[in-house]
Amino acid sequence: MLLRIICRNKSAMTRTLHPRHSLFARIVLALVPFVLAAACSGGTDEANGPASRSFNGEVNVYSARHYDSDLAIYDAFTAETGVKVNLIEAGGDALIERLAREAEASPADVFITADAGRLWRAEQRGVLRKISNEMLEMRVPEQFRHPEGYWFGLSKRARVIIYNKDLGLPDGVEDYEDLADPAYKGMICIRSSSNVYNQSLLASIIAHDGGEAAEDWARGVAANFARKPQGSDTSQIEAVAAGLCRLGVVNSYYVARFIGSENAEAAAIGEKVGVLFPNQSGRGTHVNISGAGVTAHAPNPENAEQLIEFLIRDDTQEAFAKGNNEYPVVEGVAPSGPVAGLGTFKADELPAATLGINQPEAIRIFDRVGWP
């Protein structure tokens, strides 16, 4: 309401209200300067694009992200452009299936999800369209976008090795490959092979070391389980902190959530866990993305492209990544919040598209070695 009073001269402006905002006032307040700048500025700069550009109508977003900071960003987009954002939230795989079922009748314009493997699945199901967008191609590094324009990275995360600080990092653990060493038998907690994050990690090992070596690795890690794979990355962090296992493999943003939590119990768990960025003397740590694509039957394709452009601007990248403790995908935009405290690292430069291409082989390997 305040924005409407301040910027009431923007007759095309609409704003979608979300009941969860009241529960996350601190997030919205942190974005107030950003929202006001978007709502009331008429300026232009190379990094942030022309603020005066405007489209009528709406854009329909199917998103697997469930963060209230995203809602504030959508409101800022509406304030600047007059384009109303209609949001549907669900799991990434469920949204892919929904898009496939809806086909030409789908109202969706933009699909947003986590992991290049899921973006590849969406591409394979034919629910995304190829686009050519100079701004997106310039701003999103080639590694983090589809070579033909089916999707573009929005933020990134690292898949790290964690360890119990009290027990210490076992001698000799530096790389992902080390986790298959029999010396670490009974030490490792990790998610199920059905988890897309593990599938993408194995896909990266296939790309670097070949299928045979990747299968040997998966078999070796499975032999070193401290327990049967179960739960989320959160469960692995809790198990490592409790000393149920000495090592774990998780996405960086899960660790940052614990470290930055306002809940004293959760923050204490985060303090018990150390983080190792693997493969620093070689190819670098495996990274993955959250990303977006324009849907195959988008009724508002121009608005869809403009929203994705908005999400990779300098003035949105920090807020978008910070909402899930991720790293910005645009070069030159620094990470902020708890994830920045994890330190800098050398990242694997493997194209994200390769992770999806190698996923079918990764799944077959997991099945063959008996990784539950």
Dump pLDDT digits (tens) for 99-112.
Answer: 999 999 999 999 99
Average pLDDT over residues 30-38: 44
Least confident among 20-34, 106-120, 235-249: 20-34
Give the contacts of 54 (CB within 8 A, at least 6 positions apart).
Answer: 12, 80, 81, 82, 83
- 172, two tokens: 């000799």
Structural domain of residue 255, as residue ranges? 157-286+344-369
Q: Are 314 and 320 in contact (CB under 8 A)?
A: no
> pLDDT at residue 167 above 70?
yes
How many folded domains does the chain comprise? 2
Give dist(CA 39, CA 25) in Å, integer.
19
Task: For residue 232, give the nearest of 267, 262, 271, 189 by alpha carbon.
Answer: 189
- Please classify residue 55 by burial: count the beta carbons closer than 10 Å to its beta carbon, then call 0-12 exposed, 13-18 middle and 19+ buried: middle
Whose structure tokens read 């390769």? 354
Dump pLDDT digits (tens) for 321-330.
Answer: 999 999 999 9
- CATH number for the domain spanning 161: value is 3.40.190.10
Give dist(CA 5, CA 39) in Å, integer.
11
- Cα distances from 328 to residues 74, 239, 288, 335, in angstroms, run 17, 29, 12, 6
Whose structure tokens read 């902190």? 241
User: For residue 56, what pLDDT is reported?
Assistant: 67
Mean pLDDT score across all residues of the chain: 89
Do 31 and 137 lie in one domain? The reply is: yes
Do 349 and 201 lie in one domain? The reply is: yes
> pLDDT at residue 23 above 70?
no
> pLDDT at residue 359 above 50?
yes
Which of the 8 DSSP states describes residue 326? Answer: -
What's the pLDDT band for 48 if we cut at 50, 70, 90? low
Give dist(CA 237, CA 136) in Å, integer.
35
User: For residue 47, what pLDDT is reported?
Assistant: 59
User: For residue 50, what pLDDT is reported?
Assistant: 36
Dump pLDDT digits (tens) for 208-250.
Answer: 999 999 999 999 999 999 999 999 999 999 999 999 999 999 9
Give dist(CA 339, CA 326) in Å, integer.
7
Do 299 and 282 lie in one domain? The reply is: no
What's the pLDDT band for 17 if we cut at 50, 70, 90? very low
For residues 296, 194, 353, 309, the Cα torsion angle rounded to the nearest 10 degrees is: 50
Do 204 and 305 lie in one domain? The reply is: no
Do 68 and 174 lie in one domain? The reply is: no
Q: Which residues pair with 212 in a beta bridge?
A: none
Do 217 and 350 lie in one domain? The reply is: yes
Average pLDDT over residues 196-206: 98
Give dist(CA 251, CA 243) in Å, integer.
19
Do 325 and 309 lie in one domain? The reply is: yes
Dump pLDDT digits (tens) for 294-306.
Answer: 999 999 999 999 9
User: For residue 372, what pLDDT is reported?
Assistant: 97
Do 314 and 361 lie in one domain? The reply is: no
What's the pLDDT band for 39 if we cut at 50, 70, 90? very low
> pLDDT at residue 45 above 80?
no
Task: For residue 204, give the nearest of 49, 37, 348 by alpha carbon.
Answer: 348
